[in-house]
């Protein structure tokens, strides 16, 4: 009895783009791409392995390099038709001639007829969950055991004489398409089971996100494998498009390369019903008229970053959901990959091995070729290199991937090369190659020690400069806090103390009037009580300025909303409470704690003035997070501010406007006022992102000088 295991896969997102909206790039013969690309996979260093009619190629995003084994034996001189990368990084290669090769750490092991590999086209390679490697060919199925390929036959209950497609599903089941049916081998067993279905020539089997198996038939269609059990009835859906390879991407959509009619894509295969043909509106189309390198498409693959690669008979195409203009959408960090050295050419002789490399005596000129894997934007990768013993500083190579040195003398040399990512950050690990030109020693110990001392001195100087900058920033922050307390002390002196002093005289006057005129004494007491309420309100405002509510543990919008509610509650006690709201635009970013505290204090002072002095009905705060700056606007529809007050930076004896101007200047921001009498007031505070945003501040932590803003006002 036979059963199918159905597993449900959840995807973080689905593509909401049509196939023509994907970013497309193509490489043809003019860009070095090989013809008839029959297989594609990805190496551990993210480079693409490409199997073609001209052999095995490696693609780093810019250059197609025909792979050369180091040292020997060479790969078979036959088209590469199938590829398999194991988790260990080993690459298995199937050839049209029926041979199989293993590429491990730059060394090659070739398997031929004497190793059990039968002659014939290798249709596919697969590794099951036990680690065993399987190979299918036009006359049967073989399995690698004890470094020898064993043919699978009756002892495994394998019924076919061909194995045209191999696939291991997520449950560990091995599926094999024979000449007229499909069989499967459950994980951990040694007996194939028959599905009992009849199929034509199957070139590939894949598993959909919902666990359903699909197959492609070059001479018929793309359709679900017609399994029928009590739990999983057969799906009669059929895309009547012949295909040699299909792909369910990470986004859940189905990609169908055709053999002569370009590329087709089904955005949501689960909704597909019936038997649509290649012109059906359920299928999106992409052909040579849209920019495809060829309508004859032979292979398809999705890399770790979600890019779709299509191999055609004329080159290679890439479809990316992430446009090159915005590489932040990649699934992985844009940190640059370490570079690799491809070859060293000395006086016209090429060398591929770096261990104990000794060049002939008298060698004068060398050429070193290096590269780095970047499949999205290789032209944005820059290089620096240095040859120990020749260069005392890093040489900026720009985008060039070749270093030249002439008239070298005898000695030992060490070549270093580093690469930058798309954001300009440099790799911490350099690719290194050591070589020697006998017979003299040219790298002396004192020279190495001198280079080390200079490097340490530079690091120490940078460290000292950075520490001085931090000390200055700390001093500015401390000075700001001291100035704040001085301001509050002045406010207490100008408000509370003077109010209390006046109350003493009022109460004394009421006491003196009480024996002669009780009514006059009562009026004096009422005035004193009113003055007392005003003094209490002033005291509450002063206390609010001292409360540590603006801690960096909350978002700026939350802090300002809380401040507005608090001020509104105070105004409600006096019978008038304006409407207050906070608007946030853009994606909120984490602010530097110190900068957030200063921005909060500036904003709260402006909001407090609007509540207490503007007589407004509406007060609004707008916070906008742009990529390069933080912009905050506070507006009201009150009576406005007298231009003379703005020009004089405040009223005599009051320190609100001068205080916020001083704070804005000290944090390097720009502060502007717009106000007219009877038309309300608008205040704008703009802080550069490099100062305000914590992530940008970290990425510029070695910058010695920062942009400083200015503030100003206009009426």
Tokens of 62: 């810019």
Predicted confidence at residue 686, as pLDDT, reads: 93
Predicted confidence at residue 396, as pLDDT, reads: 92
Residue 447 above 50 pLDDT?
Answer: yes
Fold agreement (19-325, 340-443): no
Which residues are bridge partners to 654 per DSSP? none
Could you tell me which CATH number the domain at 19-325 has? 2.130.10.10
Q: How confident is the model at residue 3 (pLDDT cuts 50, 70, 90)?
A: very low
Predicted confidence at residue 568, as pLDDT, reads: 77
Residue 551 above 60 pLDDT?
Answer: no
208: exposed, middle or buried (Cβ count in 10 Å: 0-12, 13-18, 19+): middle
Give the mean model confidence (pLDDT) for residues 165-191: 93
Q: Residue 676 and residue 95: Cα distance in Å, rounded?
A: 82
Fold of 549-715: Heat Shock Protein 90 (3.30.565)
Nearest Cα residue to 581 out of 541, 539, 620: 620
**For the segment 97-142, what is each residue's pLDDT rounded down to a tens digit?**
889 999 988 788 999 888 888 777 888 999 998 899 999 988 889 9
Residue 443 above 70 pLDDT?
Answer: no
In this prediction the pTM is: 0.58
* Strand pairing report for 395-398 and 48-52: unpaired
Give the mean model confidence (pLDDT) for residues 28-56: 94
Q: How confident is the model at residue 448 (pLDDT cuts 50, 70, 90)?
A: low
Give the mean model confidence (pLDDT) for residues 212-218: 93
CB 532: neighbour CB atoms within 10 A? 15
Q: How confident is the model at residue 408 (pLDDT cuts 50, 70, 90)?
A: confident
Give the mean model confidence (pLDDT) for residues 154-180: 92
Say if CB 276 and CB 266 are below 8 A apart: no
Is the domain spanning 340-443 CATH 2.60.40.10? The answer is yes
Q: Residue 143 and residue 132: Cα distance in Å, rounded?
A: 7
Tokens of 598: 């200063």
Q: Which residues contact 431 (CB under 8 A, 6 or more apart)?
A: 338, 339, 340, 341, 370, 416, 417, 418
Tokens of 244: 């040699």
Residue 420, phi then psi, degrees to nearest 5: -105, 155
Tokens of 675: 């106000």
If one compares 502 and 203, the residue with the highest pLDDT of the two is 203
Give the mean model confidence (pLDDT) for residues 688-698: 75
Which residues are bridge partners to 224 per DSSP? 214
Predicted confidence at residue 15, as pLDDT, reads: 55
**For the segment 474-500, what is each residue's pLDDT rounded down to a tens digit?**
777 767 777 666 666 655 654 565 566
Tokens of 581: 């709201």
Predicted confidence at residue 2, as pLDDT, reads: 34
Q: Which residues contact 674 (CB under 8 A, 6 or more apart)?
A: 681, 682, 683, 684, 714, 715
- Give the largest CA-CA distance in the chain: 131
Domain ranges of the chain: 19-325, 340-443, 445-547, 549-715
Tokens of 26: 């193509």
Q: How confident is the model at residue 534 (pLDDT cuts 50, 70, 90)?
A: low
């Amino acid at each position: 009895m036979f059963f199918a295991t159905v597993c449900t896969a959840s995807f973080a997102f689905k593509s909401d783009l049509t196939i023509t909206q994907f970013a497309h790039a193509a490489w043809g013969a003019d860009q070095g791409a090989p013809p008839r690309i029959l297989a594609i996979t990805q190496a551990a260093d993210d480079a693409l392995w490409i199997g073609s009619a001209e052999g095995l190629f490696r693609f780093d995003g810019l250059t197609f390099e025909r792979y050369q084994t180091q040292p020997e034996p060479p790969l078979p001189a036959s088209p590469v038709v199938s590829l398999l990368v194991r988790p260990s990084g080993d690459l298995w290669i199937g050839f049209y001639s029926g041979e199989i090769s293993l590429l491990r750490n730059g060394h090659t092991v070739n398997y031929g007829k004497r190793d059990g590999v039968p002659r014939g086209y290798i249709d596919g390679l697969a590794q099951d969950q036990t680690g065993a490697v399987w190979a299918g060919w036009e006359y049967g199925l073989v399995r690698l055991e004890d470094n020898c390929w064993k043919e699978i036959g009756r002892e495994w209950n394998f019924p076919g004489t061909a194995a045209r497609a191999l696939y291991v599903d997520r449950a560990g089941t091995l599926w094999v398409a024979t000449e007229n049916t499909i069989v499967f081998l459950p994980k951990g067993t040694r007996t194939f089971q028959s599905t009992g279905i009849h199929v034509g020539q199957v070139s590939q089997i894949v598993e959909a996100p919902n666990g359903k198996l699909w197959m492609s038939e070059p001479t018929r269609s793309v359709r679900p494998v017609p399994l029928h059990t009590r739990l999983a009835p057969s799906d009669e859906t059929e895309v009547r498009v012949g295909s040699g390879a299909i792909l369910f991407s990470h986004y859940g959509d189905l990609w169908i390369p055709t053999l002569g009619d370009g590329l087709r894509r089904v955005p949501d295969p689960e909704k597909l019903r019936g038997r649509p043909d290649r012109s059906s509106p359920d299928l999106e189309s992409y052909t040579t008229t849209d920019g495809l390198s060829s309508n004859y498409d032979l292979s398809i693959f999705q890399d770790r970053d979600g890019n779709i690669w299509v191999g055609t008979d004329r080159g290679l195409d890439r479809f990316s959901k992430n446009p090159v203009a915005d590489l932040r959408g990649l699934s992985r960090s844009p940190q640059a990959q370490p570079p690799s050295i491809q070859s060293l050419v000395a006086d016209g002789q090429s060398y591929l091995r770096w261990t104990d490399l000794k060049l002939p005596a008298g060698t004068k000129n060398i050429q070193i070729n290096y590269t780095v894997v970047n499949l999205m934007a290789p032209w944005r990768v820059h290089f620096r290199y240095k040859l120990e013993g020749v260069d005392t500083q890093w040489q900026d190579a720009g985008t060039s991937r070749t270093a030249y040195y002439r008239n070298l003398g005898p000695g030992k040399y060490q070549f270093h090369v580093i690469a930058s990512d798309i954001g300009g950050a440099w790799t911490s690990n350099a690719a290194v190659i050591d070589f020697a030109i006998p017979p003299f020693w040219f790298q002396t110990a004192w020279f190495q020690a001198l280079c080390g001392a200079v490097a340490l001195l530079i690091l120490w100087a940078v460290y000292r400069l950075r520490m001085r900058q931090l000390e200055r920033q700390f001093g500015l922050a401390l000075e700001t806090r001291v100035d704040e307390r001085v301001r509050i002390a002045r406010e207490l002196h100008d408000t509370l103390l003077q109010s209390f002093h006046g109350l003493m005289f009022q109460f004394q006057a009421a006491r003196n009037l009480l024996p002669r005129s009780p009514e006059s004494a009562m009026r004096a007491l009422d005035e004193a009580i009113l003055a007392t309420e005003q003094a209490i309100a002033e005291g509450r405002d002063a206390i609010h300025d001292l409360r540590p509510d603006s801690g960096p543990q909350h978002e700026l919008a939350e802090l300002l909303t809380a401040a507005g509610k608090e001020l509104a509650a105070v105004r409600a006690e006096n019978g008038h409470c304006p409407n207050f709201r906070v608007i946030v635009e853009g994606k909120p970013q984490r602010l530097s704690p110190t900068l957030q505290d200063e921005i909060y204090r500036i904003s709260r002072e402006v909001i407090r003035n609007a509540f207490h002095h503007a007589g407004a009905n509406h007060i609004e705060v707008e916070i906008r997070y742009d990529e390069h700056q933080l912009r905050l606007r506070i507006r009201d529809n009150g009576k406005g501010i007298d231009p003379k007050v703005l020009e004089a930076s405040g009223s005599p004896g009051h320190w609100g406007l001068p205080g916020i101007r001083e704070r804005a200047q000290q944090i390097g921001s720009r502060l502007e006022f717009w106000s007219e009498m009877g038309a309300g007031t608008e205040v704008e505070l703009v802080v550069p992102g490099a100062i305000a945003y914590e992530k940008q501040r970290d990425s510029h932590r070695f910058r010695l000088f920062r942009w400083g803003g200015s503030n100003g006002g206009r009426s």
